Every structure is written in C-alpha cells, then in structure tokens.
C-alpha cells in the first residue's frame, strides 16, 4: 500500500506526457499541412501574383569547317505581375508585362531582339448579382523601353524608341467573365492614340502617323480576349488577342495584336518557354518592293532557363494577408 501513491503518481505523469505528445503531434501536422487553392473558399478583396523567367543561351566555335559565328550569346527575360480587386459588384483587374531580349555575336555585333512594356487596367461593375456580364472601362498602354533598329545588310536603321511608338487605348464596353481564367471584352466606342515622341522618328513619320506629327487619334470598335490555363501536366499557357477597327479609315481592315506564352516546367526552378507574338496593322507598311503594303508581323522566342512563379497573395475581408 505504501507503493500505491508512487504508482498513482507515475501513471498520472505518463498519461499527461502522452496527452502532450498527442497534442504536439496534432499541432505539428496541422501547421505543416499544405494549403490547397481549391480548399480556399473565403472571400477576398485583393489578389496579387505573377511570373518571372530568365533564359540564357551561349554558343562558341573553334576551327569549325562548316562555318558559323565564333561566339554567340542570347539573353531573354520576362516579368509579369497582376493585382486584382473584387468586392460586391465591383472588380478591378490590372496586369503588367515586360519583355526584354539581347543578342551578341561575332558577325552581327550586339542588338536587341525583344522589348515590350504593356500595362492593362480594367474596371467593371457587375450588371446583376448572379450573371457574368460587367459594364466596364478599359485602359491599355503599350510601348518599349530602349532604342530599336531595323537591319539591312547588317546596317542598322533607327526605327523606334521609348514612347515611339506608344499606343494608348481608352474604351467603354461590356466584359464577359466566363470563368476565372477567361475574359472577353467588347466595346463599340474606343479611342486609340498612337504617339511618336522622338523628333527624328516624327520627322520621318510612320506607324500610321503623318510625317512631322507626333500623334494621331483613331475612333473605332475594340475587342480583347484574355485567357490563361494549365493545359497539361507542367504545361501552362497565357494568351491575349486584341482587335481594333478604325471607323474613320477602312473599318473592314481589322488590326490584330496577339501574344502567346507557353511554359513547360522541368523541375522546381527550371523550365522551357515558347513565346509567339503576332501584329497586323493596316497603317504599318513593311512589305512589297517599295514597302507600301501591310503584312503580318511575327516574333517567336524559345528558351530554357529559370522560371519563378511569384506567390499568390490574397487579402481577405475578415483576415490579414495569406500566402498560398
């Protein structure tokens, strides 16, 4: 009987320790559990995220009988950032795209092969509580950051610069958000302004702007489709197509601007990317013997390099920031 208090104390201590171990293990499992996007059903005001990629290719030859550049280096970078706002019937979508590319070779020297800055902002008011239609306004600014040249017989001709050209679109219309990854915007009344702020380029004219002028304004119909999706395992797609018809000059000749980006994930940090841009502008004359005909402009880039998705951050109504 004298041992009973000791045995009782030992059993109580054992049960307390076991209970603490169970609580600690349960807490550890809960805190280490991966938060899945599909399980996050809370309402949010702000959603932010993006994508950043960097591709590098290098080649060298020495005593190569079939010929070629002794050295070549290609660098391409892409940055995307978006921030969306949604509350009740109000929505505000913002998207920034920046592309940069550079080529260095022994025969051609150094030159730019990609340069684009694109900002798109769209505000919408939901027309009914359960539908997918929004009465929306849209603003788009597109230009480049550095000087650009066209080359003939390896001789460069100054052709573009910052704000030369620059495209500004102001539009009022209807936005159909069929799903989270698909948006179709249409406007029967849109203002598109084109700018050539560089004096040398303005004196020559081009891009639909008469020689000696710095800008021109067009009124017409506008439509844009934005789509992004994971189309297969480790394969994602992001695309956009803009269509514009100028009421004042050949409205049947619709201008096209389209971007496509495919990302093929290799592992946690590396991926392959393929981008394809297409432009058709009836006012840009680049083809024919005297370069007096419009045509389809295409640009494609393939690269393998570093790919970093930026964390998706949601700011909710009733809680602070949560990172998924």
Phi-psi domain of 67 (left: phi exceeds 0; alpha: psi -120 through 50; beta: other): left
Query: Quick one: pLDDT band at residue 67, thresholds 50, 70, 90?
Result: low
Q: Residue 134: its pLDDT value, please?
A: 96
Structure tokens at 291: 């370069």
Spatial contact of 144 and 115, defined as CB atoms under 8 Å apart: yes
180, 182, 187, 192 alpha-carbon torsion, rounded to 10°: 100
Q: Is the pLDDT confidence value at 57 over 50?
A: yes
Spatial contact of 310 and 49, defined as CB atoms under 8 Å apart: yes
> First CA to last CA across the chain, in angstroms?
59
The secondary element (H helix, E strand) that includes residue 114 is strand 109-126
Q: Residue 63: its pLDDT value, please?
A: 62
Q: Residue 1: its pLDDT value, please?
A: 46
Residue ranges with strand state E in the chain: 44-60, 71-87, 90-105, 109-126, 133-143, 148-152, 155-160, 166-179, 182-195, 215-232, 235-246, 255-265, 270-280, 297-316, 321-323
Q: Residue 290: its pLDDT value, please?
A: 67
Q: Residue 199: its pLDDT value, please?
A: 95
The residue among 319, 318, 303 whose CA lies nearest residue 78 is: 303
> Other CB atoms closer than 10 Å to residue 143's CB: what's the count?
20
Measure the CA–CA gap between 320 and 324, rounded to whole angstroms. 13
- CA angle at 93 for the pair 91 and 97, rounded to the nearest 5°: 180
User: Lowest-confidence range among 150-154, 172-176, 263-267?
Assistant: 150-154
Q: Residue 10: its pLDDT value, please?
A: 43
DSSP labels, 229-248: EEEETTEEEEEEEEEEEETT
Spatial contact of 75 and 101, defined as CB atoms under 8 Å apart: yes
Q: Is the pLDDT confidence value at 320 over 50?
A: no
* Bond preceding residue 289 cis, omega within 30 of 0: no
Provide φ and ψ at 218, rounded to 5°. -130, 145
250 alpha-carbon distance from chain centroid: 31
């Amino acid at each position: 009987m004298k041992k009973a208090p000791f045995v009782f104390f030992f059993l109580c201590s054992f049960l307390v320790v076991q209970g603490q171990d169970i609580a600690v293990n349960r807490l550890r499992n809960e805190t280490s559990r991966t938060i899945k996007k599909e399980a996050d059903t809370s309402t949010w005001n702000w959603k932010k995220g993006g994508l950043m990629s960097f591709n590098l290719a290098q080649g060298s030859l020495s005593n190569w009988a079939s010929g070629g550049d002794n050295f070549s280096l290609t660098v391409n970078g892409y940055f995307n950032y978006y921030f969306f706002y949604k509350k009740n019937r109000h929505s505000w979508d913002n998207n920034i795209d920046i592309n940069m590319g550079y080529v260095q070779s022994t025969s051609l020297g150094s030159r730019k092969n990609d340069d684009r800055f694109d900002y798109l902002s769209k505000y919408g008011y939901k027309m009914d509580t359960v539908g997918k239609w929004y009465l929306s306004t849209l603003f788009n600014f597109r230009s480049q950051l550095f000087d650009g040249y066209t080359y003939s017989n390896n001789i460069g001709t100054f052709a573009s610069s910052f704000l030369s050209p620059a495209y500004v679109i102001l539009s009022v219309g209807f936005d159909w958000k069929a799903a989270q990854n698909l948006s179709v915007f249409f406007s029967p009344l849109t203002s598109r302004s084109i700018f050539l702020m560089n004096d040398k380029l303005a004196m020559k004219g081009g891009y639909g702007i008469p020689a000696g002028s710095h800008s021109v304004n067009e009124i017409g119909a506008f439509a844009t489709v934005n789509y992004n999706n994971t189309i297969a395992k480790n394969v994602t797609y992001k695309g956009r197509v803009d269509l514009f018809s100028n009421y004042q000059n050949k409205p049947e000749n619709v201008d096209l601007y389209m971007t496509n980006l495919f990302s093929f994930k290799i592992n946690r940090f590396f991926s392959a990317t393929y981008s394809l841009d297409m432009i058709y502008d009836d006012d840009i004359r680049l083809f024919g013997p005297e370069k007096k005909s419009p045509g389809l402009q295409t640009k494609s880039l393939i690269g393998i390099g570093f790919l970093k998705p930026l964390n998706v951050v949601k700011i909710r109504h009733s809680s602070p920031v949560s990172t998924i």
